[in-house]
Amino acid sequence: MRDQDDGEHDGGEHDGTRSGEQDRHDACAGAGDGGAARGDGAQDPEPRRGRPRSAAAERAILDAVITLLEAGEPLAGLSIERIARTAGVGKATIYRRWTGKEELFVDVVRDMEPVDPPVSGTEGLADLRVMLESLRTRGLAQRSSVLLHNIFAQMKSHPKLWDEYSGTVIAPRRELMLAAVRRAVAAGSSVTTSTWS
């Protein structure tokens, strides 16, 4: 689970060796350099000032990844250190919420996708229609968003990342849909292609 406490004491890196004071120092240093130069001579996007906390820190991290991707950076080229610098946080802040890049990138994709609608969990056909409409909406979003389309293309070329997304997002959605089908059949409903309409 992600640590919900992002108060004054940061703790250390995910290996527990760094202090919160050092983390704060790093965040300030990263925020004050106006964006570190990359190897190709270009500048990273301007880091955010100050040190976000709690939900604000998480939002800053997700936005930092999106900003870097919009700037043309490939997923494979993003490091936790660079993401932290762009977000204006310490690496420890990222590692308290995500175990690594794969888990973080999956949350970035989920953040960009339309939110899954709530379902009753007890209705069959009604829940199935809601989920099918959500599936259609996500498909349209992927086709209309160049960035999201490119991210999915990159994810599929990285098995570890795609497996993370498939296991934590696609598989649960599929199971919910199958459960709705089973409820509909048990209630005597006929599940056909007309269920879409």
Q: Where are the domains of the chain?
A: 20-99, 113-196
Q: Report which of 86, 100, 177, 96 is spatially closest to residue 138, judged by C-alpha positions.
A: 177
Q: Which whole number is the average pLDDT over 79-104? A: 95
Helices (H) and strands (E) in the chain, counts: 9, 0
Quote the pLDDT of residue 44.
54
pTM flag (> 0.75): no
Q: Which two tokens stand for residue 173?
A: 């959605």
For 1-51, the pLDDT digits (tens) are 444 444 433 444 444 434 444 444 444 444 444 444 444 444 555 544 444
Quote the pLDDT of residue 125.
86
Give residue for tokens 């999201």: 148
Q: Which whole number is the average pLDDT over 97-124? A: 89
Of 39-48, 117-126, 142-151, 178-187, the range with the lowest mean pLDDT is: 39-48
Q: Which two tokens stand for residue 58?
A: 């998480």
Contact 66, 5 (CB under 8 A): no
Q: How far apart, in whole angstroms, are the C-alpha atoms of residue 1 and residue 185?
A: 35
Quote the pLDDT of residue 5.
43
Quote the pLDDT of residue 194.
53
* DSSP code at position 50: S
Q: Which position has the higher pLDDT, 38 or 125? A: 125
Q: Which residues pair with 37 in a beta bridge?
A: 43
Q: Catalogue the long-range contacts made by 26-30 (C-beta closer than 8 Å, 24 or more residues apart).
A: 26/84, 26/90, 26/91, 27/51, 27/84, 27/88, 27/89, 27/90, 27/93, 30/84, 30/85, 30/88
Q: Where does 20-99 sit in CATH, by number?
A: 1.10.10.60
